[in-house]
Amino acid sequence: MCKEMIAIAQKKCDTIRFRQADMRSSYLGKFDAVISIFNAIGHLSKAEFRKALCNVARNLRAESVYF
């Protein structure tokens, strides 16, 4: 998602904090849920997919979910 689209989404819903980051390497803290929208995972190679899943796990609290 481009920064312009995130800005539009933020204006429409100011109670949600939107972030643009690389799912393979970004650490944003611990969360109860991580959501990957659209088909972001489908565009990754197998190696990148593994990195992304490991990184998602790193950003999740225990007993949390990934959508």
Q: Each residue of 8-37: pLDDT tens digit?
A: 999 999 899 888 888 899 999 999 998 887
Tokens 């190679």, residue? 45
- How many Å apart are CA 50 and CA 6, to the nearest integer? 26
Number of domains in the chain: 1
pLDDT for the residue 64: 94
Do residues 25 and 42 lie in contact, with contact meaning Cβ atoms separated by under 8 Å? no
Using 50, 70 and 90 to split pLDDT, how confident is the model at 65?
A: very high
Sign, CA dihedral 12-60-22-42, equals negative
**Host domain of residue 58:** 3-66
SS3 7: helix
What lies within 8 Å, CB to CB, of 38 at 6+ separation is none
SS3 12: helix
